[in-house]
Structure 1
Amino acid sequence: MREDIFARMTADTRAVVQKMQAHAVSPPPNADFVQLTRDGYRQVIGLAGDAQEVETVEDHTVPSTPAIPLRLYKPRVEYNDTPLPALVYFHGGGFISGGFDTHDRPLRVLANASGCAIALVDYRLAPESPFPAAPEDCFAGLQWVIEHAQELGINPSKVSVGGDSAGGLLATVVCLMCRDRNASRPIAQILIYPDTDLAINTRSWYELDFLHPAQSRENKLSQIAMYVPNQAEREQPYASPLRAPNLSNLPPALIITAELDPQRDEGEAYAQQLRDAGCLVTHTRYPGVIHGFYQMGGVIASARAAIAEVGAYLQLRHTGAS
């Protein structure tokens, strides 16, 4: 089975996995799991390729308790002072890691590819700030961008949300929160290999979690326990959107999954449930690639293709929005 999985990888993905496995080491006794995870996740920065130039990078603060940092990337496009469409983005990192540095390079590429302003929300992380801190910060970030669109140079009627992995889950939850709270809604949702069910009991979790120790089911369960310490709360829709009893009246979705990703099945199940609820869904499964490939555009060709797909989808949705 494992040999078959390696055979199904793209050549560039196989090279990345072999390098990760060769450099994997057992943590020392009594190691700080959170710090090890955060330090390890930053290693993805070097796989993203060179940082593209964008028009501007602006740091803002969403006034909340506590305040939420937000970074706004504006693309290098000719827009003649016309307000830009925007994507409010939530980074991945297993709910306990990630931030401006881990997602800077892919989002620069996406800003230029889509012609959108990209607003990256630096939401609070677990275990310091467990659920529901992260989704509340992300909801507040989206609402602030829409409310302050004019001063940010953004068209408030053309704002989407998106995220990868844990950030993909947060994007789904923000869409639910906007609907449930009768708040300003995004016009599209971009979900890149999203978490959708914190039970993580799908077949793909048991088949594919061996590819790298950092992406094992055991590690994921440890992260989830920090993010949502109360096990009963993990079944709530704002924690596990796949369990939401009602997914109607949500914005159109682009869902990207990876063939060799432990989170593949839950992302694809969410795509089907959205369709069943009447949501317009575009789903692409990228063959032969692993979880996290979207951030590896410097070494994996499929990452560059996926960013181009997201950019084209955003252009389509924003062109069609009123």
Structure 2
Amino acid sequence: MDFSQWGNPSKEWLAFAAANPALLARNEDHLPPLALQQKTNHSRTTIAKTLVATTGLGNLVATEDYVVSTRDGKSITVRSYRPILLGTKPLPGYVFFHGGGYFFGSLDTELFNCSWLAHALSMTVVHVCYRHTPHVSGLTPWHDALDGFDWVVTHTEKLGIDPSRIVVGGISAGGSLTACVVQNEVRRARETGTPCRIRGQVLGIPNLVNVNAFPYHLFADKEKSSPVQCADAAVIPKQRMKLFTDMLGHEVDPTNTTWSPALVDEEELRGTPHTAILVAGWDPIRDEGLWYAQKLKNAGVRTKVHIFPGLPHAFYAFVGLPSHRHWNEIMLDSLRWAVTEEDGWIVEEPPVMSPLMEKALAIGAPVDPTTPGATPADMAKSGNLLRGE
């Protein structure tokens, strides 16, 4: 295999980088892990709450939190987002796992992202907030994802979800959790002879193989594989990938298919719900997503792939980048596609958006906190855009 043709930085990115050197030079990895985590999550939360207030989404989408027990006797929280104007009738459900290297992220960092998805798609979005390193290690995030999903599918009536129209999806680290949940559900359905409870999955720039288990031998040239070709890429260069992996610990075999879901045998993928995968070309984890897509196709799974050539991991978080809006459009289209059996949208049309909400869509959500920490100036820029300034 060789996907290196997608890995050269695009003209769009090079122009953006030249115009924003200070933004891209910001690096806070020198901070102690807990300080880095707290600072990034606080910044993300402030931005998310500001955008929800400025767009008026708080008056359009209702949220509710639920405490869910986990297999180790602890608990996590899931938050549901539901369009208020659609009342209590069952809606398609989107079970969402955020990104952040299993290290960044919280319920509140995803407030804007989940709100605008619920509003734009007329879906009930359920954000499963798994636990993060360094507070936990090993397979705990994956186990939390499995426990959270099981709770959602057994409480669809409470959540106002049509149980026959559930999509699971995630970004970056959340893509790994998503793939794990879907594989587990397909296995359960096969072993019990009961229907799979997932209609489709959407994997955004997914991390699907532990960095210490990457199958270099399957690629035509190791130097052209994404971990090597994109080792110095913006946003998550090699040293940041190592930071995330090291905090998960090393007590689990990196080839464990819960930890590295792309390593599962192709035969095990048969029966997987149709899958949309979004991949950034200049990204150390690019090849994981494209290889997994190939394995799904070989297993007879209806698969749709969208590649953003020459763009780094989580590029969509940079508001000034033209492809920022394109990512948001592709994500919405992918979720619509994943929830349907046919190509058409089977739910009533989403509410007509006001000009203010159109601007919110253009801004989108900084859904992956692995990007450089936003400053108050960045937040003010987003607010000014929403106000038309």
TM-score tier (shorter): 0.7 to 0.9
Please state how far the C-alpha of 1:206 moved relative to its aligned partner: 2.1
What is the one-letter code of the residue matched to 1:61? V
Distance (Å, rounded) in 1 between the aligned partners of 2:274 and 2:337: 12
Q: Which has the larger radius of gyration?
A: 2
- Report the CA distance shift for 1:26/1:221 in structure 2 as closer, same or farther (over 3 A): closer
Q: 1:85 aligns with which of 92, 96, 102?
A: 92
Of 198, 201, 204, the match for 1:189: 201
Amino acid in the other structure paired with 1:55:
V
> Aligned pair in 2 of structure 1 residues 217, 42: CA closer, same or farther (>3 Å)?
farther
1:133-171 per-residue CA deviation (whole Å, 9 max, x = no partner) reads 111111111121111111211111111111000000100
CA contact (8 A) 2:199 2:340 kept: no
CA contact (8 A) 2:277 2:305 kept: yes
The answer to whether structure 1 residue 312 and structure 2 residue 344 are counterparts is no
Say if 1:282 and 1:71 are closer, same or farther in 2 by CA, change over 3 A. same
Residue of structure 2 in register with 1:101 after alignment: 108
The answer for the alignment partner of 2:151 in structure 1 is: 144
User: Could you tell me which amino acid in structure 1 is paired with residue 250 of structure 2?
Assistant: P
1:1-80 correspondence runs (5 A): 5-6=8-9, 8-10=11-13, 13-14=16-17, 18-24=21-27, 27=30, 31-37=31-37, 39-40=39-40, 43=43, 50-51=51-52, 52=55, 53=57, 54-64=60-70, 65-75=73-83, 78-79=85-86
User: Higher mean Cα deviation, 203-212 or 185-194?
Assistant: 203-212
Once residues 18 and 170 of structure 1 are traced to their aligned partners in structure 2, the CA distance between those partners, rounded to angstroms, is 33
CA deviation string 1:183-221 (max 9, x = no partner): 853111110000011136562222223244x62212212
Distance, in Å, in 2 between the alignment partners of 1:80 and 1:258 is 37
Cα separation, 2, equivalents of 1:124 and 1:241: 19
| Corresponding position of 1:120 | 127
Check if 1:219 corresponds to 2:219: no
Matched, 1:299 2:320: yes
Shift of 1:16: 8.0
Quick one: distance in 2 between partners of 1:314 and 1:118?
A: 11
Change (3 A) 1:107 1:222: same
Other-structure match for 2:173: 166
Q: Which amino acid counterpart does residue 50 of structure 1 have in structure 2?
A: L
What is the identity percentage for the equivalent residue pairs of Structure 1 and Structure 2?
Answer: 27
RMSD: 2.8
Partner SS state of residue 68, structure 1: strand
Aligned residues: 312
Say which is worse superposed, 121-130 or 168-177, in terms of deviation. 121-130
Instruction: Report the Cα distance in structure 1 between the residues aligned to 2:104 and 2:38, rounded to whole angstroms.
Output: 5
Q: TM-score, normalised by structure 2?
A: 0.72
